[in-house]
Amino acid sequence: MTVSTDPPSSSGPSPLPSPVPEYLALSFPAPMPDRPYVILNMVTSADGKATAGKTEAPLSSPTDKLVLQSLRVHAGAVLDGAGTARSSGVNPTIRDARLRQVRESMGHTGPPLQAVLSGSANLPPDAPYLRREDFPLVIFVSETASPQRIAALSATGRNVEALPAGPAGLPELVRRLRRHYDVRLLLLEGGPALNSQFFHAGFVDEVFLTLSPHIADGRGTPTAVEGESFPPESMPALDLISVYPSPETSEVYLRWRVRR
């Protein structure tokens, strides 16, 4: 376990704040043949809430946004659920030029593939992110989704792929990302329902969590994972890999690996 309170290691007039340089140097295990290695990144309030005012934006600092981008540097694809896409839109680009240079030095050209999972295909076909040309995007829907909704999304020119209905859908999604799109590292960016699906399927390998120095409160406000509860004897266990407290933002950046 690494616990760091050292100042940023980058040089220059605007050094990258910790743990961004450390996260840029991360290494991950090789993926399995049938799915990518999956990491999950979320921000929550100190009392465990994933949103404040219906979005995560009030909980996230500029430093936390850089941390998210530093994880995108490693990713072959970013996956968001339909709720996140509807409320916040999706955008896998890496805004900081220094981070883009690191990604390019790793042999990656352009931003990660953006994937969206919407079983019902209930996404607005006029959403701005569907018209953008600066990143690739694929939408995964259930084969039981409305044909009219699927047609409307396909008419945007974006790739729409149908998955088997029910429990077979998620294994097929990760299989296609690995085999059809050559995704070795998949970054989950939420929301809580999507995170729950991946945990119950046993597909989450690591968890990156930013603890925000705020109390959100609110009955019914979602946490980072929202779905059917695990029985106590089968709760996924996490091994702590690193902790980076930030004196500047009072945030804490945590990394866990799921115990197998």
Predicted confidence (pLDDT) per residue in 248-257, tens digit: 999 999 999 9
Residues 6+ apart with CB under 8 A from 219: none
Looking at residue 4, its pLDDT comes to: 46
Under the banding of pLDDT at 50, 70 and 90, the label for residue 125 is very high
- Map residue 81 onto helix, strand or coil: strand
Looking at residue 126, its pLDDT comes to: 96
> Across all residues in the chain, what is the average pLDDT?
94
What CATH number does the domain containing 105 carry? 3.40.430.10
Q: Is residue 201 part of a domain?
A: yes
Looking at residue 191, its pLDDT comes to: 92
Distances (CA, A) of 182 to 31, 67, 118, 120: 11, 24, 21, 26
- The helix or strand, by DSSP H or E, that contains position 148, with its residue range, turns out to be helix 147-154
User: ∠ CA 205-84-17 to the nearest 5 degrees?
Assistant: 65
Under the banding of pLDDT at 50, 70 and 90, the label for residue 165 is very high
Distances (CA, A) of 66 to 6, 96, 137, 143, 253: 18, 8, 22, 37, 12
**199-204: long-range contacts, CB 8 A cutoff, minimum separation 24:** 199/225, 199/227, 199/230, 199/236, 200/227, 200/228, 200/230, 201/170, 201/171, 203/35, 203/38, 203/170, 203/174, 204/38, 204/39, 204/40, 204/236, 204/258
Percent over 90 (pLDDT), the chain: 92
Instruction: Please give the span between the terminal C-alpha atoms of the chain, in angstroms, as a whole number.
Output: 18
Q: Is residue 11 part of a domain?
A: no
Looking at residue 6, its pLDDT comes to: 47
Under the banding of pLDDT at 50, 70 and 90, the label for residue 53 is confident
Q: Is residue 6 part of a domain?
A: no
Q: Is it the case that residue 26 has pLDDT exceeding 80? A: yes
What does the alpha-carbon distance between residue 255 and residue 260 come to, in Å, rounded to a whole number?
16
Q: Is residue 7 part of a domain?
A: no
Does residue 185 contact residue 17 with C-beta atoms inside 8 Å? Answer: no
Q: Is residue 237 part of a domain?
A: yes
Q: Is residue 36 part of a domain?
A: yes
Q: Is residue 212 part of a domain?
A: yes
pLDDT, mean of residues 218-231 = 96
Q: Is residue 106 part of a domain?
A: yes
Among all chains, which residue has been given the structure tokens 């998949």? 186
Residues 6+ apart with CB under 8 A from 246: 17, 18, 63, 252, 253
* Number of compact structural domains in the chain: 1
Containing structural domain, residue 179: 17-258
Does residue 52 contact residue 214 with C-beta atoms inside 8 Å? Answer: yes
